[in-house]
């Protein structure tokens, strides 16, 4: 029970801090807001400001819980002294008629029921895959380190963490559930903001319908009651739009400050939300035709987004990390990985996007979740174009939607739902009974027991009402074991892996529940290289089974390279286990004065020169003409043969050997290498694990569903491993030595 109270307190304290910070800014700006607008907008604006404060605390490495508590308490006390109230102290917005009782009843009952459902799920121990994974895993790590650390083995650590910054104080006080409850508060704030906007434009029924369509949407419920960031992003994005409307009405330049701050915060919350900043800038340009307001919005946006870009540029040599690696090349993410990852996010394994609408609204098995069958009415939203507010909503929604096809997961639609929901509401604004019926239909269709009758069972959604787990009547350990996919692996690691040691895994574990670094096979270039090595033990496609041999007339040379001249097709890259130079049948001894270069992926060139058949240099990009491996011998050497030890998992690569002459010009030496069989060492498994150990990793977590899992399980000793622990579907191995 103490944990339950701590979670509530942690979330409540953080939310109060956000609200207090927001009221301070709003009152200073002199924004005239109604009470029903002020509550959600102050919370969201305050969240943006508080996120920057937490960022600074982490950057200064002073993230101790007393510091966090004092900062939050200080903001709250400062606001209280300034007369914080729900009504505000500065300006009161233009009054609007009270909501009529049928609207209150329909909206209140529907939204109330979903609020309780979401509250219980958020309050229960965190079981969501990403919430219990990287979102809170990174927060937990930042709190352990008392600040930011450069993490090069996890691409998620390179993403901006605008919303997660708010999870830091909540987690410090109330652990995982407190963070989820903060996100739940964003869901409430979003619904209140949409409702308030409907009243602002004189269409309260449209506002209520828009609020409920968004709030009761199944994917919003699943995300909004977990420690994700999608619903918070939607709230921030909608707040940007809302503030542009307020500014447009009040024509006070100061009101562009929240527009800019929130536009930057939208980027800090989720990169793909940057488009709302474009909307804000276009809107300001259109309404003012002046540069200064544009600069004000841009400057304020940079205050929020800039620190994240700067951090990434300094640490990862890429302000857009973990994306944009073809432009900002770096050793942390392979270009080909980004390419393949982005392609997978664009399709989610769907051969065609024609079924996507049904998938998003009704089935949800491939894109993980549904927005609800009521959104089949989306085409009717175009009717809202007849209103000025409708045109603005649809334009903003379209801009936010424009990045959706970069990731077609259902939850990536959440940021544009408020706009489309409101537009649907406006389309039927003249018919309150119709909107009432639509709200009831949406609520019923989105209620979990009803929904399970029509969605795909793989669809991500709320499936339980865990009030006993929320109140900790059900022990958290039991609840987590039964409902969290990665929790068993995380506990296994906590119990059996010596403190401070990392664990390598093909698919990861619930990072937020372990203090160990989990190196997941795909999450960085170095992890990918390690996975490539480990998989080499069982996958003969990757093994050094081939040699490409160039023989030519002996020649003196100081520098030689192997040049790749063909264009391969996706996803074929060029791989080299070892590159060896010979004279009269004897290999040139690799001398410390040699200098090795590669293009692309120069950072891993040493893998082709380490004398290990369990490592290989990979181009990290689809093979293209001009790739090379280059060895400068430091002094003139006689060479008559060049051998590349390779796998046979690439075919379209064409190679030639070149030598640099005295004029520093490359000369063609040999082409068309002779293909010879290579000998895969019988100890290749042991060699693979030996390489893993050389890189400081002794522990390996393998799920039964991982490729190669049976090989490890059959004979761990052949790998130099011993089985340390075994769960229902996961095994933990450790090197024997």
Partner 1 sequence: MMKLDAKGGIWFEKAGKYWGIVAGMKRRLALVGAMVLAESGCQNMPEPYAPPAQRPAVEKFHPYRMQAIVSMSDDDAQAHFVQDITPLATSSWRWTGKKPTVRVKARTDEELRYTIDFVLPEANFRETGPVNIAFLVNDRVLDRARYSNAGDQHFEKPIPAGWITAGQDITVAAEVDTLSAGPPVAPKLGIVLVRIGITQ
Q: Which residues lie near partner 1 (CB under 8 A)?
A: 289-292, 313, 317, 327-331, 590-597, 602-603, 605-606, 609-613, 632, 681, 683, 686-687, 690, 693, 717-718, 720, 735-737
Distance CA 528, CA 150 (A): 18
**Least separation, in Å, of the C-beta of 578 and partner 1?**
10
- Of 293 and 436, nearer to partner 1 (C-beta) is 293
Q: Compare residues 134 and 315 and give the one whose CB is closer to partner 1.
A: 315
Task: Convert 185-244 into a string of H (helix), E (strand) and C (coil).
Answer: HHHHHHHHHHHHHHHHCCCHHHHHHHHHHHHCCHHHHHHHCCCCCHHHHHHHHHHHHHHH
Nearest residue (CB) to partner 1, 610 versus 649: 610
What stretches of 600-720 adopt beta strand conformation (E)? Answer: 617-618, 627-646, 655-660, 666-671, 674-677, 699-703
**Cis link prior to 600 (omega < 30° from 0)?**
yes
Tell which residue, 147, 198, 200, 150, has the closest CA to residue 32.
200
DSSP assignment of 558-572: EEEEEEE-----TT-
- Least Å from the CB of residue 50 to partner 1: 31
Residues in the chain: 737
The tally of CA atoms less than 13 A away on the side-chain side of residue 273 is: 35
| Smallest distance from partner 1 to CB 533, Å | 12
Residues 6+ apart with CB under 8 A from 314: none
Residue indicated by tokens 């606001």: 79
Q: Least distance from C-beta 53 to partner 1, angstroms?
A: 29
Residue whose CB is less far from partner 1, 492 or 605? 605
Sign of CA dihedral 582, 587, 592, 597: positive
Cβ distance 525 to 514 under 8 Å? no
3-state secondary structure of 598: strand
Half-sphere exposure of 350 (CA within 13 A, CB side): 22
Among 187, 271, 189, residue whose Cα is nearest residue 226: 187
Given the complex with partner 1, which of 218 and 322 has the nearer CB atom?
Answer: 322
What is residue 452's three-state secondary structure?
A: coil
Rounded least distance, CB 540 to partner 1, Å: 17
Cβ proximity to partner 1: between 200 and 559 the closer is 559
Q: How far is the CB of 559 from partner 1 (least distance, A)?
A: 10
Question: Quick one: 176 or 731, whose CB is closer to partner 1?
Answer: 731
Of residues 108 and 331, the one with the C-beta less far from partner 1: 331
Cβ of 268: how many Cβ atoms within 10 Å?
Answer: 30
How near is the Cβ of 679 to partner 1 at its closest, in Å? 8
Question: For tokens 């990169």, what's the residue?
Answer: 271
3-state helix, strand and coil shares in percent for the chain, rounded to the nearest 5: 55, 15, 30
State the nearest-atom distance from the C-beta of 288 to partner 1, in Å: 9
- Please identify, using beta-carbon distances, which residue of 551 and 693 lies nearer to partner 1: 693
How near is the Cβ of 444 to partner 1 at its closest, in Å? 51
Q: Which residues contact 608 (CB under 8 A, 6 or more apart)?
A: 576, 577, 578, 579, 596, 598, 616, 617, 629
Main-chain dihedrals φ then ψ at residue 546, nearest 5 degrees? -145, 150
Q: State the minimum distance, in angstroms, from the CB of residue 327 to partner 1.
A: 6
For 70, 486, 511, 734, the CA distances from 729, given in Å and listed in that order, are 44, 10, 18, 17
Query: Between 285 and 566, whose beta carbon lies closer to partner 1?
Result: 285
| Min CB(498)–partner 1 separation in Å | 17
Q: Which is nearer to partner 1, 146 or 329 (CB)?
A: 329
Rounded distance, CA 166 to CA 338, Å? 28
Smallest gap from Cβ 397 to partner 1, in A, equals: 26
User: Which is closer to partner 1, CB of 5 or CB of 327?
Assistant: 327
* Shortest Å, Cβ 31 to partner 1: 23
The answer to whether residues 42 and 262 touch, using CB atoms and an 8 Å cutoff, is no
Contact 500, 523 (CB under 8 A): no
Closer residue to partner 1 in complex, CB, 141/559: 559
Residues contacting 419, CB < 8 A, separation 6+: 238, 241, 393, 394, 396, 397, 400
């Amino acid at each position: 029970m103490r944990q339950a109270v701590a979670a509530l307190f942690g979330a409540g304290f953080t939310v109060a801090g956000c609200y207090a910070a927001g009221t301070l800014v709003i009152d200073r700006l002199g924004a005239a807001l109604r009470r029903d607008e002020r509550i959600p907008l102050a919370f969201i604006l305050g969240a943006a400001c508080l996120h920057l404060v937490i960022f600074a605390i982490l950057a200064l490495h002073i993230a101790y819980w007393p510091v966090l508590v004092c900062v939050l308490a200080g903001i709250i006390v400062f606001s209280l002294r300034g007369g914080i109230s729900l009504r505000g102290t500065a300006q009161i917005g233009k009054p609007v008629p009270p909501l009529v009782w049928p609207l209150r009843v329909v909206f209140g009952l529907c939204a109330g029921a979903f609020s309780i459902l979401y509250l219980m799920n958020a309050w229960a121990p965190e079981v969501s895959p990403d919430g219990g994974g990287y979102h809170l895993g990174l927060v937990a790590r930042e709190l352990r380190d008392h600040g930011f650390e450069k993490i090069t083995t996890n691409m998620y650590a390179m993403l901006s963490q605008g919303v997660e910054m708010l999870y830091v104080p909540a987690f410090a006080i109330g652990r995982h559930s407190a963070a989820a409850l903060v996100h739940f508060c964003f869901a409430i704030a979003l619904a209140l903001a949409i409702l308030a906007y409907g009243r602002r434009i004189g269409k309260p029924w449209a506002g209520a319908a828009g609020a409920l369509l968004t709030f009761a949407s199944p994917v919003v419920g699943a995300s909004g009651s977990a420690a994700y960031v999608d619903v918070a992003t939607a709230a921030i994005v909608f707040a940007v739009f809302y503030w542009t409307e307020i500014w447009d009405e009040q024509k006070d330049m100061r009101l562009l400050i929240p527009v800019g701050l929130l536009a930057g915060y939208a980027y800090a919350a989720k990169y793909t939300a940057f488009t709302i900043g474009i909307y804000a800038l276009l809107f300001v340009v259109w309404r003012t035709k002046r540069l200064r307001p544009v600069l004000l919005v841009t400057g304020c946006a940079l205050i929020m987004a800039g620190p994240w870009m700067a951090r990434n540029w300094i640490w990862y040599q890429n302000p857009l990390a973990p994306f944009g690696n073809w432009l900002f090349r770096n050793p942390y993410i392979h270009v080909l990985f980004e390419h393949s990852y982005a392609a997978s996010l664009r399709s989610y394994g769907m051969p065609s996007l024609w079924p996507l609408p049904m998938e998003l609204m009704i089935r949800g098995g491939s894109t993980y979740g549904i927005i609800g069958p009521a959104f089949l009415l989306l085409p009717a939203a175009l009717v809202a174009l007849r209103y000025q507010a409708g045109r603005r909503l649809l334009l903003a929604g379209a801009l936010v939607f424009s990045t959706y096809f970069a990731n077609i997961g259902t939850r990536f639609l959440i940021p544009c739902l408020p706009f489309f929901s409101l537009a649907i509401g406006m389309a039927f604004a003249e018919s309150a009974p119709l909107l009432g019926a639509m709200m009831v239909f949406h609520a019923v269709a989105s209620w979990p027991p009803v929904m399970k009758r029509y969605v795909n069972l793989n669809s991500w959604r709320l499936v339980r009402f865990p009030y006993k787990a929320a109140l900790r009547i059900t022990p958290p350990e039991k609840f987590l074991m039964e409902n969290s996919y990665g929790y068993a692996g995380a506990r296994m690691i906590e119990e059996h892996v010596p403190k401070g040691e990392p664990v390598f895994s093909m698919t990861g574990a619930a990072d937020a529940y372990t203090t160990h670094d989990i190196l997941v096979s795909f999450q960085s270039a170095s992890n990918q290289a390690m996975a490539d090595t480990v998989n080499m033990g069982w996958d003969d496609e990757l093994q050094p089974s081939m040699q490409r041999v160039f023989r030519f007339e002996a020649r003196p040379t100081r520098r030689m390279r192997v040049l790749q001249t063909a264009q391969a097709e996706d996803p074929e890259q060029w791989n080299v286990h070892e590159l060896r130079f010979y004279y009269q049948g004897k290999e040139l001894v690799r001398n410390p004065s040699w200098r090795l270069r590669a293009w692309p992926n120069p950072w891993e060139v040493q893998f082709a020169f380490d004398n290990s058949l369990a490592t290989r240099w990979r181009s990290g990009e689809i093979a293209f003409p001009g790739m090379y491996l280059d060895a400068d011998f430091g002094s003139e050497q006689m060479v008559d043969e060049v051998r590349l030890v390779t796998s046979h998992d690439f075919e379209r690569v064409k190679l030639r050997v070149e030598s640099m002459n005295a004029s520093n010009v490359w000369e063609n030496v040999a082409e068309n290498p002779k293909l010879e069989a290579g000998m895969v060492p019988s100890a290749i498994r042991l060699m693979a694990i030996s390489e893993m150990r050389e890189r400081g990793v002794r522990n390996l977590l393998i799920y039964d569903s991982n490729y190669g899992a049976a090989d490890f399980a059959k004979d761990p000793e052949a790998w130099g491993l011993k089985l340390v622990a075994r769960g229902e579907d996961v095994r933990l191995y450790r090197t024997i030595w």
